[in-house]
A and B are shown apart, each in its own frame.
Chain A
Amino acid sequence: MTEKYNMPDERGHFGPYGGMFVAETLIPPIQELNAAYQQYLNDPEFIAELDADLKHYVGRPSPLYHAERWSRELGGAQIYLKREDLNHTGAHKINNTIGQALLAKRMGKTRIIAETGAGQHGVATATVAARLGLECVIYMGAVDVVRQSLNVYRMKLLGATVVAVESGSKTLKDALNEALRDWVTNVDNTFYIIGTVAGPHPYPAMVRDFQAIIGREAKQQCQDQAGRLPDALVACVGGGSNAIGLFYPFIDDSSVKMIGVEAAGDGIETGRHSAPLCAGRPGVLHGNRTYLMEDDDGEIIETHSISAGLDYPGVGPEHAWLKDTGRAEYVNITDTEALEGFHALTRMEGIIPALESSHAMAYTMKLAPAMKKDEIIIVCLSGRGDKDMQTMAQREGIEL
């Protein structure tokens, strides 16, 4: 690659994707946010405060762990896990909420709202809101409120109001709709912390920039431990924030393969899945143009995944661009396969992954054996599995 990757353009476009597809009332707050983000992105004081928080509050850098036993067992490439599960609150989500909350504070906003699917982003948001003393309202689909009840309780303990969203499919997309409705109503004092690289510009770029710490650290750590770049990166893709966070610092390193893993639910062929990049087509939802799961009339269709955090019909617009340009590859893993990944990592390495991250583990089990023993895969272990104990137990017919 001769030219350095430089996306998005100033209006937030990644080729035909991204952009700013919002109702007029949201244009001024989005412009205000973009101005603040551009200003503080290069502000040494802001960066210093963010870095200090990431170190002392989140616990960064997160380890890059060589899963030797699992690598040996699979008989191929060396697998390194980027341990985002060890962050405070248990997932990568806090990298982003810390950053956005600092922006909110700089912008003088007193009220924070967020959407959440698995509840990890909701917890990470409620956490930073508690710490900064900001009012916090979390929107969560009523279906997810049930399947991630532990996280609902955590958010409440942290002082957040959790609103169960009863409209539409009652999952993540509907939570996002409701958060947008709140924002349009309370634009003056409210900061909307979007939890993934979706939404209107500047969110996809801004959330990516906050999550890119994952890839920057991993790149350095891989250099330190193995003395070279990895050959492949693997991460699960819901909205795509942990994936882009890992990928972004490697985009110009063309020898590094980047593989995003979508949720195939019951299987792509059944139609019951959450894999817009693998099986959807471009459209506009939640402020940007990207690959979507929709019917012929452009109505968004319901998604299915065992993991609430991947249960979303869209995907960050930058992934749409990386797919079309061929820089990244997108594959899919069914619920059943994800469970195999879940158990494998748990039994082989003593690490219980989140069901979202388990999709990346399951794909790694297919990929590693096909690679050479001196090759390296970095897999993003985006979160820990504590929140999924109920789902797992229920699935296996065990009463807790």
Chain B
Amino acid sequence: MSRLAATFEQLSKTGRKALIPFITAGDPSPDFTLPLMHAMVEAGADVIELGVPFSDPMADGPVIQRASERALDHKMSLRRVLAIATEFRKTNQQTPVVLMGYVNPIEAMGYEDFANAAQRAEIDGVLTVDLPPEEAEECVALLKVRDIDPIFLLAPNSTDERIKKMDAAGSGYLYYVSLKGVTGAGHLNTADVETKLKQIRANTRLPVAIGFGVKDAQTAKTVAGLGDGVVVGSALISKIEANLDNLERAKIEIVELLVAMRQAM
């Protein structure tokens, strides 16, 4: 059983929902990421989504765009993200790490080389925003034989047919993008999410994490009532951006926010 599957199974036994922070690796500098990952686990994170910065983050709002730019200014790359994940595993064998990003850095490395490198780094899941199942066959096959879960996105306009397709292609969990828009946008409509989750559940038995629009303890609580996991990204990265001159402060604020979310969930 993959580390992700085991994590969600364990959580569901205790009736707990997964808290899944997203940070961009290397933001604002490479040496900040590893201690932040450990701190987030201590604050109650169950899974970590580690963003791989890309020069053209088409699905991201301004906050994560700027995070990518800061990381790229320090020459962060897929290889270096994998190196950070490898370091993380040396002292944490429990918490699943999911790489989240765009397909081109993976293409540049080569699908097979990437799958091998991800396996060596003990990566648990790979979420590629611009690689829908139609284009993902080769990549998915290479990941699955290495026990790495391919994570797919669902959107408010996904049909039954699409959800079934994601259920077949994906594993670990499905990521429901709760609103039409980019990361960090708008606020979510609880009733809409509730309705959509019913449709999703009818078409998959995979755990469903919900992201986009989770900003604070209150929204985390609401979303936790609807899905199996809560993803928070831009709200955390905003703390980094607000404290670029005092990163210790940034880390403290991120931890405080996660603790508040964890308690509220």
Q: Which residues of A contact B (CB under 8 A)?
A: 11, 19-25, 27-29, 167-168, 173-174, 177, 180-181, 184-188, 282-287, 289, 292, 294, 296-301
- Residue pair A28, B130 in contact (C-beta under 8 Å): no
**CB distance A298 to B162 under 8 Å?**
no
Cβ of B154 and Cβ of A24 under 8 Å apart? yes
Residues of B within 8 A of A297 (CB): 77-79, 105, 108
**Residues 120-162 of B contacting A (Cβ, < 8 Å):** 129-132, 134-135, 152-159, 162
A216 to chain B, nearest CB (A): 32
Q: How far is the CB of A320 from chain B (nearest CB, A)?
A: 13
Contact partners of A180 in chain B: CB under 8 A: 58-59
Residue of B nearest to A297 (CB): B77
Is A27 a contact partner of B108 (Cβ separation < 8 A)?
A: no
Which of B56, B59, B107 touches A173 (beta carbons < 8 Å)?
A: B56
Cβ contact within 8 Å between A21 and B131: yes
Select which of B58, B77, B79 is within 8 A of A181 by beta carbon. Answer: B58
Rounded to whole angstroms, the CA-CA distance of A222 and B115 in the bound complex is 53
Decide: A28 near B129, CB < 8 A? Known: A20-B134, A298-B109. Answer: no
Bound-state CA distance A294–B180 (Å) is: 30
**Which of A11, A19, A184, A292 is in CB contact (< 8 Å) with B182?**
A184
Q: Is the CB of A24 within 8 A of B180?
A: no
User: What is the chain B residue whose CB lies nearest that of A302?
Assistant: B55
Flag if B130 contacts A298 (CB, 8 Å): no
Residues of B within 8 A of A11 (CB): 134
Contacts of A168 in B (CB 8 A): 55-56, 69
Q: Are B162 and A27 in contact (CB under 8 A)?
A: yes
Q: How far is the CB of B138 from chain A (nearest CB, A)?
A: 11
Question: Is residue B72 contacting chain A, with contact meaning CB distance below 8 A?
Answer: yes
- A294 touching B154 in the complex, CB below 8 Å, given contacts A19-B135, A27-B132: no
Q: Lowest 4 A-B CB distances belong to which pairs?
A: A298-B108, A298-B105, A297-B77, A25-B155
Shortest CB-to-CB span from B117 to chain A, Å, is 13
B59 touches A23 (CB 8 A): yes
Contact B55 A299 (CB under 8 A): yes
Output the nearest chain B residue to A187 by Cβ-Cβ distance.
B180
CB distance from B206 to the nearest CB of A (A): 15
20 contacts between A and B (CB under 8 A): A21-B131, A22-B130, A24-B152, A24-B153, A24-B154, A28-B155, A167-B62, A168-B55, A174-B56, A180-B59, A185-B181, A283-B104, A284-B102, A285-B56, A287-B130, A296-B108, A298-B104, A298-B108, A299-B54, A299-B72
- From the candidates A24, A174, A188, A283, name the one contacting B108 in the complex (CB within 8 A): A283
Question: What is B's interface to A at a CB cutoff of 8 Å?
Answer: 54-62, 65, 69, 72, 77-79, 102-109, 129-132, 134-135, 152-159, 162, 177, 180-182, 185
Given contacts A185-B181, A298-B106, contact A24 B79 (CB under 8 A): no
Complex Cα spacing A300 to B69, Å: 12
A181 to B153, Cβ gap below 8 A?
Answer: no
Q: Which residues of A lie under 8 Å from residue B135 when comparing CB positions?
A: 19-21
A23, B104: Cβ atoms closer than 8 Å = no
Residues of A within 8 A of B156 (CB): 25
Instruction: Kindly list chain A residues whose C-beta atoms are within 8 Å of the C-beta of B78.
Output: 297-298
Report yes or no: A299 in contact with B162, Cβ–Cβ below 8 A. no
Partner of B157, one of A28, A283, A296, A300: A28
Task: Indicate whether A25 sits within 8 Å of B177 (C-beta atoms), given known contacts A168-B55, A181-B182, A284-B130.
Answer: yes
**Shortest Cβ gap from B125 to chain A (Å):** 16
Complex alpha-carbon distance, A237 and B65, angstroms: 29
Give the residue of B55, B104, B158 whose beta carbon is less than 8 angstroms from that of A284.
Answer: B104
Among B77, B105, B135, chain A packs the most CB atoms within 10 A around the CB of B135
Complex-state Cα separation, A386 to B108, whole angstroms: 40
| A23 nearest CB neighbor, chain B only | B59
Distance in Å from the Cβ of A345 to the closest Cβ of chain B?
Answer: 35
Assembled-state Cα–Cα distance A110/B136 (Å): 33
Complex: chain B residue closest to A294, CB-CB: B108
Contact of B59 among A19, A28, A181, A188 (CB under 8 A): A181
- Which listed residue, B69, B107, B181, B182, touches A298 by the CB 8 Å rule? B107
A310 to chain B, nearest CB (A): 18
In this complex, what residue of B is CB-closest to A174?
A: B56
User: Given A294-B104, A296-B108, 16 other A-B contacts at CB below 8 A?
Assistant: A11-B134, A23-B58, A23-B153, A23-B177, A24-B158, A27-B158, A168-B55, A168-B69, A174-B56, A184-B59, A187-B157, A284-B103, A287-B130, A298-B78, A299-B104, A301-B55
Residues of chain B within 8 A (CB-CB) of A184 are 59, 180-182
B157 contacts A21, CB within 8 Å? Answer: no
Asked whether, in the complex, the Cβ of A177 is within 8 Å of the Cβ of B58, the reply is yes
**Nearest-neighbor residue (CB-CB) of A179 within chain B:** B58
Residue with the greatest number of chain A CB neighbours at <10 A, chosen from B55, B59, B158: B55
Nearest-neighbour CB distance to chain A for B135, whole angstroms, equals 5
In the bound complex, how far is the Cα of B137 from the Cα of A11, in angstroms? Answer: 14
Q: How far is the CB of A276 from chain B (nearest CB, A)?
A: 13
Whether the Cβ atoms of A24 and B159 lie closer than 8 Å is no
CA distance A244 to B160 in the complex (A): 38
Q: Are B134 and A300 in contact (CB-based, < 8 A)?
A: no
Q: Which residue of A lies closest to B152 (CB)?
A: A24
CB distance from B200 to the nearest CB of A (A): 12
Residues on B with C-beta less than 8 A from A181 are 58-61, 182
Contact of A185 among B54, B105, B134, B185 (CB under 8 A): B185
Shortest CB distance B111–A (Å):
12
Report the Cα distance A110→B55, complex, angstroms. 32
**A20, A22, A284: most-surrounded residue (chain B CB, <10 A):** A284
- Shortest CB-to-CB span from A122 to chain B, Å, is 19
Enumerate chain A residues within 8 angstroms of B185, measured Cβ to Cβ: 185
Are B55 and A300 in contact, CB atoms less than 8 angstroms apart? yes
